[in-house]
Amino acid sequence: MDTRKLAAFIFALFLITGCRQSHLSANRPLTDQTIKAPDPQGQCILQPETKNRDKNPGSDQGKIDQALELCGVAQSYWEEGNLEDALSSLDEAYALMLEIDTADNSEVDQQKEDIRYLISKRILEIYASRQIVVTGHHDAIPITLNDHVNAEIKRLTGPERKFFTRSLNRSCRYRPFIVQELKKSGLPEEISWLPLIESGFNARALSPARALGLWQFIPSTGNKFGLSRNHYIDERMDPEKATRAAIDYLKELHNLFGDWTTAIAAYNCGEYRVLKTIRRQKLNYLDNFWDLYQNLPRETARYVPRFLATVHIVKNLEKYNIVIDKPLEPLEYKPFDVKKQVRLSEIAKAINVDTDTLVSLNPELRHEVLPPEAYTIKVPVDHAAQFMARIDAIKTTYRQPPQYTYYRVRKGDTLSGIAGKFRTSVNAIARCNKISKKSCIAIGKVLKIPGSGKASAKTATASSAYNKSKEITYTVRRGDNLWLIAKKFSTTTKRIKALNKLSGTRLSIGQRLTIVSGDKGNSEKFSKYKVKSGDSPVGIARRHNMSLDRLLSLNHLSKRSKIYPGQNLLVE
């Protein structure tokens, strides 16, 4: 048994179940045992007492005594630097604890749990020290050729052979840097093949789950590991930045799980899914990744065998008659700081280089244009001198992208009517919302409208007709909310609530409201709040002393809407 995997499981189990060191606290004393004072090395050692004991080795108490003796043996091995035997002894001690049936004996149950805690704590300590004692920080990845892996080998060398060969050719551009960074971090070189099954070594690969780049980061995980994202750039597509982020993530996962197969599975489906699966296992402990195999999501269950198959194949290319015939060479570049917003095509033309080359060197530029703020652009080494000489003379023809506004469909609205109201076209609205121009639009649906977001003068004049009446009665329609009604009649939600003696923001269809159009009273002032990782609508509303309904209506959100880090919300 691989005890390091056992340690990782116990650690994960403690994270989930909340096991604490209170087993050894004064208010939950050990039964039939005493704890000696820390020895000179600071280690606390459990010792059995001698009275009222059943010395039969096959009894529960006898197994507890044997486990304690094995813990002592493990401590001796550890002090001698013999980590493998120390782990093996603790493994045996843990196995003895699993043999004890404590259904009818609460005292023995308490002893058993105390010793299990001691064993797990000692295993974690030994595992941590192992990273310093052994050569290198992590073990190599073992390639297991079982039925699952062999099935993936057949796929990659059979139906998916063309994909595999193309990916190998692309890998030649990126792997030298990846291998270099892995060596710096002390990680196995085999991990450099992970992008092959993630993205086929395509720097701009996008999955249905919105995972992007060589290493297929989703936005939230990319943000957690320092990959910026805005209108102009998305660092998930930068091979160098994404590689460093992936290494940080993989190191974190390996520190949590203790073995590479489980860490790589967690890279695919997330550490919390793997921890949840471990917790639901009917096994007493985790032997290895393959114990988890059947209970992981189907994609992940294939992911690890697919990775192991890839590593096996690249080490045996001749055996499978695979040839890297069109390798993409690494692009040598020189970085330059640029403070003007120009298109890559304009730079390429000025320095006489192919635009695709500049795009390949700067894949994080989402629209192939530099951002308005200072940006470090990568230029081919052979064209660096030309770039320095001509960058100041390059004139930009770039224009700001169109602004968007959002409109909630009301009763009687049509696409042509909305297009006329916002001085745009039906085709433009259809493209923005990925719908057909003949599509039916449902009341309450929020549409993205291209353009400045200002209604036409004709519409403004029509809406001003509402303002001619000092006081009106309005009947609530489907899709209405206080914020929309207030905006429609140039008033405020607070004024409407005060006039109608409303305690909350909930409205019902057919409800009649008294509204004074054009009466804003003390104009409402809103501020913007930038959503952070871990935020929720409820938490944001509570933080700004708002009701959840108020926050949602103010930002055209429903209770099912999702918010994301970096999003700007209006708050009071």
**CATH number assigned to the domain comprising residue 268:** 1.10.530.10
Domain-terminating residue out of 393, 415, 435: 393
Shared domain for 77 and 169, answered yes or no, is: no
Shared domain for 298 and 422, answered yes or no, is: no
Q: Give a yes or no: residue 514 inside a domain.
A: no
Shared domain for 289 and 375, answered yes or no, is: no
CATH code where residue 371 lies: 3.10.350
**Token reading at 97:** 């604890």
pLDDT digits (tens, 9 = 90+) for 320-366: 999 998 999 999 999 999 988 899 999 999 999 999 999 999 999 99
pLDDT digits (tens, 9 = 90+) for 225-245: 989 888 899 999 999 999 999
Q: Give a yes or no: residue 204 inside a domain.
A: yes
- Find all residues with CB under 8 Å of 501, minimum gap 6, and list them: none
What is the domain range of residue 73? Answer: 3-133
Q: Give a yes or no: residue 174 inside a domain.
A: yes
Q: Which residue has the higher pLDDT, 105 or 55?
A: 105
Shared domain for 78 and 157, answered yes or no, is: no
Q: Give a yes or no: residue 382 inside a domain.
A: yes
Q: Give a yes or no: residue 294 inside a domain.
A: yes
CATH code where residue 432 lies: 3.10.350.10
Which pLDDT score is estimated for 469?
A: 44
Q: Give a yes or no: residue 192 inside a domain.
A: yes
Residue with tokens 């696409």: 415
pLDDT digits (tens, 9 = 90+) for 33-43: 333 333 433 34
Question: Model-level pTM?
Answer: 0.53
Least confident of 27-36, 375-384, 453-462, 559-568: 27-36
Q: How far apart are CA 545 and CA 488, in angstroms?
A: 25
Least confident of 29-38, 405-414, 518-527: 29-38
Domain-terminating residue out of 372, 393, 414: 393
* pLDDT exceeds cutoff 50 at 537: yes
* pLDDT exceeds cutoff 80 at 536: yes
Shared domain for 163 and 31, answered yes or no, is: no
pLDDT digits (tens, 9 = 90+) for 273-298: 877 776 666 544 444 556 666 677 77
Shared domain for 195 and 295, answered yes or no, is: yes
Catalytically annotated residue among 152, 190, 198, 364 = 198
Long-range pairs for 38-46: beta carbons < 8 A, 24 or more residues apart: 41/79, 43/75, 45/71, 45/72, 45/75, 46/71, 46/114, 46/115, 46/118
* pLDDT exceeds cutoff 90 at 216: yes
**DSSP readout, 335-371?**
EEEE-S--BHHHHHHHHT--HHHHHHH-TTBTTSB--
Q: Give a yes or no: residue 512 inside a domain.
A: no
Q: Which residue has the higher pLDDT, 294 or 315?
A: 315
Shared domain for 156 and 126, answered yes or no, is: no
**Token reading at 505:** 């923001």
84 is catalytic: no
Residue with tokens 């918010």: 563
Shared domain for 300 and 212, answered yes or no, is: yes
User: Is 174 exposed, middle or buried, given 0-12, 13-18 or 19+ CB atoms closer than 10 A?
Assistant: buried
User: Is 106 exposed, middle or buried, given 0-12, 13-18 or 19+ CB atoms closer than 10 A?
Assistant: exposed
Q: State the average pLDDT for the chain.
A: 76
Q: How far apart are CA 195 and CA 175, in angstroms?
A: 9
Shared domain for 10 and 58, answered yes or no, is: yes
The candidate with the shortest Cα–Cα distance to 139, out of 82, 179, 188, 180, is 188
CA distances from 349 to 138, 334, 346, 395, 559 (A): 48, 18, 5, 11, 50
Which pLDDT score is estimated for 513?
A: 86
The candidate with the shortest Cα–Cα distance to 216, out of 196, 233, 199, 202, is 199
How many domains is the chain partitioned into structurally? Answer: 5
Shared domain for 406 and 382, answered yes or no, is: no
Which pLDDT score is estimated for 95?
A: 82
Shared domain for 125 and 210, answered yes or no, is: no
Q: Give a yes or no: residue 297 inside a domain.
A: yes
* pLDDT exceeds cutoff 90 at 215: yes
Domain-terminating residue out of 393, 413, 443: 393
Shared domain for 12 and 105, answered yes or no, is: yes
Task: Please count the residues of the chain.
Answer: 572
Residue with tokens 């640029």: 338
